[in-house]
Structure 1
């Protein structure tokens, strides 16, 4: 039996998500920077007034066009910086370089959305209340976060597999069949391909050339109508054969020979990448149980397996050949201490 057949592991029940105190939820939110359009749309859909401010009129028109199909009266898009001083909470996208009012929260630093988790680092109570109101699990995280680095590791492994010949939606399907809440490409589309790219660039993570090209071509995910998938009319995702052509072309430019990759191999490589990143965070001082919980809640790791570190411990010595073949360093060190 393959090591990735994944027998069930007895794990504690995840805690019930807390409920936001209605009095703490900001009545009006301002979002600075179109990179955070996806979050602005989610805030508006949750019934809160939100002003999305862009740096110039051209960018504002572009973002307004992207948001038009959402038809959300609670969302306004413009260039008036004055609304930043009037909002109860200001969220600034990573690329926003203009002045901000005191108390503004930097997305990607003090407040980071990744899957089902909102990682907070020194953010005000209003940000925590907003996260709860939007359905995210707030997690107090160290600088750089926990879910973000694990998601980036997962995405990096998935994109390398795609460059080598794996079909993106088939890889997503393989991970979902194994118990993941969503595949990496689906999650990138939901989070925003540009948002994921900005986070990885901030961490100076090496990556395949596919995602930078996607962002340059306007493939931003669900919020833009097309990413790894297409979203006709703003609806559900459908397979986009053009992404296969784009990946194949980038593989040719990079000199990568493509081949058929079995689902079992793809699943193993993605899982090992997650385990390695989780072990890296644990060696840096993060609580392994918190890491596992964030992996389950944030990036959809199979809850029945407890998380990447719980699964690594359960698999034990059977992981040895896979770790050696992948050239992992952090995971063997952490397992030796666990």
Structure 2
């Protein structure tokens, strides 16, 4: 079809042919119009002229081709570092003729892939949150109530039991009460009702208060800009996952949880003084990266020089938010 656009391969082929033709034509004109001449049998004194002319032609050809094909090197480097779980820079459109079309097509492909990945992650995480809420309700309403009934029955039985059985029944009663507390804690972790009822700061305070073993230093700014329900849930879940990773893997003696306002948004930080070490892209970390992408936030996980691990989530907030 006459109106069909040239393919990038055909365009690149024609560009190389045009550059070579231009260089060799220019070299021919220079040799034809210059006072330099070559005898039918080349003399020794004319060999340097031919070598210099050939060198100039090759150098000009190499320079023009290198400048023309330079975007291919940048494009290859970008392909190597593309990661759909991390924001990826786009290659600048240099306006370099036919290769600019390749660059624009690759950038459009990245936009489409990241949009599809974000949509798929949003769907999966929404389903995950729904399943968490369902399990939390079942734990609270069914298992929690069943354990409460057992606990009350044990109390009545212990009150009427002989002295030699009463101590044993009270021990069982305490075990059931401890199990009931654990069920309630699991339900709270699965469904942060305090986040819906009292807000993000109260939810983070409760999360830090329940952190086992290690005291958590809190620096939570109460003067946060409006974030929206989705951003607050992402901040809470990433703080929860970060503290869980510290409890499981870090062996830390100190943890700091901070959420502060900064120009253009808010910054969440979970910093510990534990073992640190190489970052393994576990399911938890991948989940944090997917959540960050949902709200356009930037997640970084680093090991400071003084040791430990620092997890930071920068959440942008528009002027109108």
Class of the TM-score when normalised by the shorter of the 2 chains? under 0.3
Say which one has the larger Rg: 2
- For normalisation by structure 1, the TM-score amounts to 0.25
- For normalisation by structure 2, the TM-score amounts to 0.26
Structure in which a larger fraction of residues adopt helix: 2
